[in-house]
Amino acid sequence: MDQNAQKQAAAEAALSFIEPDAIVGVGTGSTANYFIDALATRKHQIRGAVASSEATAERLRSHGIEVFDLNQVDRLPVYVDGADEVNKHREMIKGGGGALTREKIVAAVADQFICIVDESKCVDVLGAFPLPVEVIPMARSLVARKLAGLGGQPRYRDGFVTDNGNLILDVHHIDLGRPLKMETDINQLVGVVTNGLFALRPADVVLVGGRDGVRRY
C-alpha cells in the first residue's frame, strides 16, 4: 500500500467507532478527507458532524452531511482526525494544515479522539516536524522572541491566515522531550492562541495504516 492507500485504510477503519445517530467530530487534512468520504457512505445513519475547519465543513456539506455549530452540541462521542506526528503515548503534533486551534477545541469536547495516520507519522520522539503555533497578529514578533527563548527557531508561515484570522509560527528544532510541559509553557505566552502539541489531550486510539493493513494502539 502506498502512503495515500495507508491513509485511506486508517480512515475507513475509524468508521467502526461511529455510533448510530451520532454527531461526529471531524478533523482537517488529507487523511481526514478520506474519513469524510468514508463517512458519506454512512450519512443516513448519523445525525451530522462538527467540523474543525471551514475546508472540512465545506467537504462535509458537499457530501450532504449536516454541519452543526459546536455550541449547538452537548455531546460528541467521537472525534476523528489525522496528525503530523504521533508517539507511542498517543501524544501528537498537529496543525500542519493550520487548523490546530479548532481541532483542539473539538477534541476537548469529544469523549474519544481517534487519530488516523499512515506509518510515516509514527515517531519515537516528537519534534522533527516543526511545531505550529497560532498567534494573534500583533503579537507575532513578541511570541517569536519568546519561542526562541524556549530554544526553538520560529518561522512565520508567510501568507497563511487561520480560519480564526490569526497567524502561524512554525517552530523548528524545539526540544519536545517533555511534551506536556512544553504544551503548557507555550500556551502561557501572551499572544499565543494555542500550539499544535496534543499532550494534555492525547488521542485515545491511534489507527495506523501500514503496508500490511491497519494496526491499533
Ligand X SMILES: O=C(CO)[C@H](O)[C@H](O)COP(=O)(O)O
Residues involved in catalysis: 103
Q: Give residues with Cβ within 8 angstroms of 197, minimum separation 6.
A: 91, 92, 93, 126, 131, 176, 179, 182, 183, 186
Residue 144 near residue 183 (C-beta atoms within 8 A): no
Question: Which of these ranges, 23-31, 54-62, 159-167, 204-212, lies near ligand X under the rule CB under 6 A?
Answer: 23-31
CB of 99 to ligand X, least distance (A): 4
CA 145 from chain center: how many Å?
26
Closest CA to 76 of 40, 100, 44, 52: 52
The residue range among 21-29, 61-69, 136-144, 159-167 that interacts with ligand X, by the rule CB under 6 A, is 21-29
- Which one of residues 1, 17, 22, 30 is an interface residue with ligand X (CB under 6 A)? 30
| Annotated binding-site positions for substrate | 28-31, 81-84, 94-97, 121
Asked if 25 interacts with ligand X (CB under 6 A), we say no
Q: CA 203 to CA 183: how far, in whole Å?
A: 15
Site for ligand X in 56-85 (CB under 6 A): 81-84
Residue 27 interacts with ligand X (CB under 6 A): yes or no: yes
State the minimum distance, in angstroms, from the CB of residue 93 to ligand X: 8
CB of 163 to ligand X, least distance (A): 10
Q: Least CB distance from residue 83 to ligand X, whole Å?
A: 5
Beta bridge partners of 116: 207
Cα(200)–Cα(210) distance, rounded to whole angstroms? Answer: 27
Determine contact, residues 103/93, Cβ cutoff 8 Å. Answer: no
Interaction between residue 209 and ligand X (CB under 6 A): no
SS3 for 162?
A: coil
Interaction of residue 94 with ligand X, rule CB under 6 A? yes
Considering only residues 95 to 114 of the shown chain, the ones binding ligand X according to CB under 6 A are: 95-100, 103
Contacting residues toward ligand X, per CB under 6 A:
27-31, 81-84, 94-100, 103
